[in-house]
């Protein structure tokens, strides 16, 4: 596999040698697989490092003015992480030891073996790719990221699946919109995993969760000394996502100056770290998401129109859960399986009353709220069936139509009392798993009175079958 195929961007090698023949030889040898720049002196090397993101320097020891060892020392004093292979005709063990002590990757002498130098360069490039992958994997572990399948059979979801399949093999920028909790990040991961970049990093950034003054450094990285506390150079999310996908969640709240920098990154395919002057080539597919109307934000002057059009290449709107309630059983089964595995439980499902409550609730927090409810219910479940008592109170005793009537002042005190009584009896019946004798005892009612109230409030179909 070539270096470009592995990283997504051709590595840049700086050949530093004052002999034209040596520079020409390296150009002929390396130009097919690597981007090249050349320097004839130590000063030119340092100047190039200030303006370009160099992966590797092939550094001659003997050059006019500043020699290679002095250049290497200056590079390390600046905390530059660029790898260096020292190349020289001087066969001096002392020079080799000094170069390695100063952080050179290796040391070769002229005339060098072509296969040896190519293998050495390949080792450096692969090492750098692995280092980036380690940074990415550590970030994944730290944030507890894991992919969950997109679930749903609603017609709108089927349209989304079809669209994702059609854009999987290209690098088009995607803009996901919808209320909070509708599954935008889950869908972004699905888009990434079904694409040709699926085996490369998926890096997610919640732009709303990071203080504005830190977000620029988080996205683009920073150089040592760029600001107070920047004690070392740090790679940003754009670099971490190289050859993969970068998910920018809640992008609608970004400052205008950061919007401009993201626009430049998308247009030029390059970035600069905070406090740096050199450009860094990137190969990243951006998937952005927002729960606010970005078109309206453009009209209000708080979001750049050029960035909006750059992001809105493939727009996808995710409907709220209340508009796709037919998907609730699929989502419930999905999250039951997930949390049964996580908690080592064997919950089989929900009682009829609990199921009815899930359908009646409007889910303002959407799928995220439903997942949290299922997680809590599985953790608290005392048996194989989740009942109303394992659900939050606002779900278990809430009926949308009833509350709407209350808000319109059309419910009498008697109606309100009957509603509460029916819900209370339902909860007791759920608690005793439908055992009407035990429920009557707990309620202080005669068994026949309870049976009458079950008929009155039409509760028979909303409780688990009796176990008496």
What's 417's domain CATH number? 1.10.8.60
Q: Tell me whether residue 34 is in a domain.
A: yes
- Flag the least confident range among 3-12, 123-132, 210-219, 248-257: 3-12
The tens digit of pLDDT for each residue in 228-279 reads 777 788 889 999 998 899 999 999 989 999 999 999 999 999 998 888 888 8
Please check whether residue 258 is in contact with residue 219, taking contact to mean a CB–CB distance below 8 angstroms: yes
The tens digit of pLDDT for each residue in 292-318 reads 999 999 999 999 999 999 999 999 999
- pLDDT at residue 3 is higher than 60: no
The tens digit of pLDDT for each residue in 71-106 reads 888 888 775 678 898 887 766 667 777 778 888 888
- Flag the least confident range among 1-10, 212-221, 270-279: 1-10
The tens digit of pLDDT for each residue in 384-442 reads 888 777 788 778 765 544 455 455 555 566 666 777 777 778 778 877 777 888 888 88
What's 169's domain CATH number? 3.40.50.300
Percent of the chain with pLDDT over 90: 28
Q: Tell me whether residue 39 is in a domain.
A: yes
Q: Which of 8-12, 273-277, 284-288, 455-459 has the highest mean pLDDT?
A: 284-288
Q: Write down the pLDDT at residue 256.
A: 93
What's 59's domain CATH number? 3.40.50.2300
Q: Tell me whether residue 70 is in a domain.
A: yes
Percent of the chain with pLDDT over 70: 87
Domain residue limits at 87: 3-128
């Amino acid at each position: 596999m070539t270096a470009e195929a592995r990283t997504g961007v051709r590595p840049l090698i700086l050949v530093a040698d004052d002999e034209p023949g040596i520079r020409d030889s390296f150009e002929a040898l390396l130009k097919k697989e690597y981007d090249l720049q050349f320097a004839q002196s130590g000063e030119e090397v340092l100047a190039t490092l200030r303006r370009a993101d160099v992966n590797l320097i092939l550094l001659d020891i003997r050059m006019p003015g500043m020699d290679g060892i002095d250049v290497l020392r200056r590079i390390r004093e600046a905390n530059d992480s660029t790898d260096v292979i020292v190349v020289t005709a001087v066969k001096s063990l002392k020079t080799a030891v000094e170069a390695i002590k100063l952080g050179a990757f290796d040391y070769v002498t002229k005339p060098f073996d072509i296969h040896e130098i190519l293998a050495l360069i390949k080792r450096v490039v692969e090492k750098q790719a692995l280092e980036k992958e380690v940074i990415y994997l550590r970030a994944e572990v730290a944030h507890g990221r894991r992919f969950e399948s997109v679930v749903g059979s609603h017609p709108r979801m089927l349209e989304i699946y079809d669209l994702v399949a059609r854009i999987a093999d290209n690098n088009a920028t995607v803009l996901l919109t919808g209320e909070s909790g509708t599954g935008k990040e889950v869908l972004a991961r699905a888009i990434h995993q079904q694409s040709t970049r699926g085996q490369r990093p998926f890096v997610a950034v919640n732009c709303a969760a990071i203080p504005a003054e830190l977000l620029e450094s988080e996205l683009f990285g920073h150089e040592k000394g760029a600001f107070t506390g920047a004690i070392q150079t740090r790679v940003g999310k754009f670099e971490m996502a190289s050859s993969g996908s970068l998910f920018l969640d809640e992008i609608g709240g970004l400052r205008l100056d950061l919007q401009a920098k993201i626009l430049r990154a998308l247009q030029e395919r390059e970035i600069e770290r905070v406090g740096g002057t050199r450009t860094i080539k990137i190969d990243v597919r951006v998937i952005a998401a927002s729960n606010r109307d970005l078109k309206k934000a453009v009209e209000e002057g708080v979001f750049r129109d050029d960035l909006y059009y750059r992001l809105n290449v493939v727009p996808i709107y995710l409907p709220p859960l209340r508009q796709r309630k037919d998907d609730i059983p699929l989502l419930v089964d999905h999250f039951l399986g997930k949390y049964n595995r996580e908690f080592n439980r064997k919950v089989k499902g929900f009682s009829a009353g609990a199921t009815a409550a899930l359908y009646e609730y409007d889910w303002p927090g959407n799928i995220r709220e439903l997942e949290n409810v299922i997680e809590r219910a599985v953790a608290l479940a005392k048996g194989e069936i989740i009942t109303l008592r394992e659900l939050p109170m606002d779900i278990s005793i809430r009926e949308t139509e009833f509350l709407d009537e209350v808000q319109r002042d059309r419910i009498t005190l008697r109606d309100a009392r009957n509603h509460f009584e029916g819900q209370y009896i339902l909860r007791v019946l759920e608690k005793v798993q439908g055992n009407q004798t035990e429920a009557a005892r707990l309620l202080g009612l005669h068994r026949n009175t309870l049976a009458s109230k079950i008929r009155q409030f039409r509760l028979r179909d909303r409780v688990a079958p009796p176990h008496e």
